[in-house]
Amino acid sequence: MSTSLPAAGPTVLGNGFSLLEFEDRHLTAAVELSAALEWPYRLEDWQFAFALGKAAVIEDAGSVVATAMWWPFGDVHATFGMIIVSPALQGRGFGQQLVLDLLRQTDGRTVFLNSTREGYRLYGRLGFIPDGRIHQHQGVLNEVMPPAPEVKIDVAHQDDFEAIASLDERAIGFSRRELLAALSSVGRFTVVNRSGVVRGYACSRRFGRGYVIGPVVADGAADAKALIRDAASRLTGEFVRVDVTEHSGLSTWLEIAGLIKVDQVVSMSRGQRSLHHSGERVFPLANQSLG
């Protein structure tokens, strides 16, 4: 299959397959498709992701057999995710066709994604470069993870949003205000506030099989751990997922706390990545698709 970018609009792929724009009517089938790969997305998770981004879908005589989404961050950056091909149709080039369509839509942007083992070679062929790993931790928190008394954690208020967005931008290198606003409508935000200055934040929300803790941004591991502990202390008995960067150094600590590392993916990027010098870092992600 050619690696040139496909033209805009519906594309007939032959043998009854068509590539077209993802619409609301595809959501229910997308949930079933992700479940076939044992990705535990709820309908609400798909709706949340789709409301923030754009997507493509491949249909086989009207049935959804593959999906891919992308999310814009300003005019220069984007992330790719929810790239799923039916198990029965993998290896036939549909994943490549979807990614090429997303690259056409995001032409000129720097793009980030987190690659599974299955997608790594494909993304490499299409110009994506590896840049670290993400460790997926999950489990039921059977024991209480008490808050860290040495770090004061406050529930975030509306007045904290600008400080949270600025902190996040310094850590990421570009603005994610729309994502943070959407997360604030469904999740619980907390902050580390020192002398009136927000030095770290965390979000926890319903996701997948239970809850996800992330994103968490702080200027050091001690504050990041305190934010995670505070969120986890309210989720005893719940299934919790945390996706942390390899550079965070938190994997061993999370395993000791009962959140076992079950998988890892490779962070990859394509295009000119902005260099920024900031003490703030991302520890857990919002999730592997959104970053």
| Predicted confidence (pLDDT) per residue in 222-232, tens digit | 999 999 999 99
**C-alpha pair distances (Å), 46 with each of 32, 81, 109, 243, 286:** 11, 11, 24, 18, 14
pLDDT one-digit tens code per residue, 147-177 = 778 899 999 999 999 999 999 999 999 999 9
Asked if residue 223 lies in contact with residue 190, where contact means CB atoms within 8 angstroms, the answer is no
Average pLDDT, integer, range 232-261: 95
Q: Could you tell me the pLDDT band of residue 61, with boundaries at 50, 70 and 90? A: confident
Angle at 161 between CA 211 and CA 201, to 5 degrees: 50
Query: Whats the size of the chain, residue-wise?
Result: 291
Residue 78, pLDDT score: 97
Domains of the chain: 11-108 (3.40.630.30), 136-282 (3.40.630.90)
pTM: 0.91
Q: What does the alpha-carbon distance between residue 178 and residue 165 come to, in Å, rounded to a whole number? A: 9
